[in-house]
Amino acid sequence: MTEQLDVGSPLSASPARRTRRWYRRPVLIVPLVLIAAVSVLLVIVSRSGDTPTTESGTAVQSVITANGLVVDSMTGRPLLAATVGVAGRSARTDAHGGFRLSGVSLNATLTIRSRNHASATVPAAVGPVRIRLTPIPVRVKVTSALTGAPLPAAIHTPDRHRVLATAAGVATVYRIGPGNRVTVTAAGYRPTTVSVAANRTIRAALQPVSWKTAASQILLWLKTKKHSALANWVFSPATGYQYYPGQPTTSSGIVSVNAQVVGENASVNVSVIPSGFMDVSSSFEGGGSRVTLVGQRAWHGTVHFVGGSAGAGPRVGTDWFRSPLAISVIGDDLTVTDKIMAAFLAALPSQ
């Protein structure tokens, strides 16, 4: 008996036709799979667009809050009011040296500055950092204003630190800068206060306290004919004035140096008198009058004649003598000559 197949049923189709129908179904499935995969990728990208992730899926910060401490590299002490800056923004350290600066890009570089310290740059980092700044040195040289020889001394800084200069008169001081003032002291010398120069140096010339010490040196200069050393000492910047000194002259064993005072209508005569005596009052009409300047006795009044002739006319002046040195200031105004003389006496040894 022969089997009958329904033409309309799948079984009635030939093998070739059944094969072609099998391959048509994947053609419809593949586009659906691709569409689903793209959708998943879009969702992942949209969720992770703001924060990058590592391969393991951990979020990586791109903006952080930088924080930490700024300290002195030599002492380890915190630096107050140091500036931490990045991209036009900055923060200052507190009394403990701490700082916080938000909104910093992770790949940014921080610049740290503090007065009298060398600046530094460090990369921004997650978590606290410790930044050490190196103080900039100030070089000190201390000498005797009388001889120019170096002096071992002590330098007292504004923060009450004391730094000792060596026998060569040199020292290095930190944590001070241009404009800061320090006091320099040495045994047997008058303390002086000086400012740090723009090039971060200090030059201090100290006057001896004892006039006996000064007198011995003056006579030594006279004996060795070092007249310029004498002039440089008397006309020192410590007086607060500038001078145009002339060449030293010698007459009857007395050495004299004349100088014009810069900015004033006045002149100065400095003389060394080996005999050790001078009648100061004889320089003035009527003997002049006594005056006390910076705790020392001087004379002032109208000078007899200036220049050795009556045609020069009378002028006023202030004179001082302490063996073996005599100083005479002559000008048009007694107030001015007294002021210049007071500046000399304030700079010279007083005891």
Domains along the chain?
63-133 (2.60.40.1120), 138-206 (2.60.40.1120), 211-347 (no CATH)
Specify which of 20-34, 131-145, 270-284 reaches the highest per-range mean pLDDT. 131-145
Residue 34: predicted pLDDT? 42
Residue 234: predicted pLDDT? 92
Model confidence at 277, pLDDT cuts 50, 70, 90, reads: confident
Strand-pairing partners, residue 59, are: 53
Asked if residue 54 has pLDDT above 70, the reply is: no
Residue 280: predicted pLDDT? 83
Q: What is the mean pLDDT of residues 8-31?
A: 43
Least confident residue range of 15-29, 77-91, 167-181, 284-298: 15-29
Least confident residue range of 7-11, 181-185, 324-328: 7-11
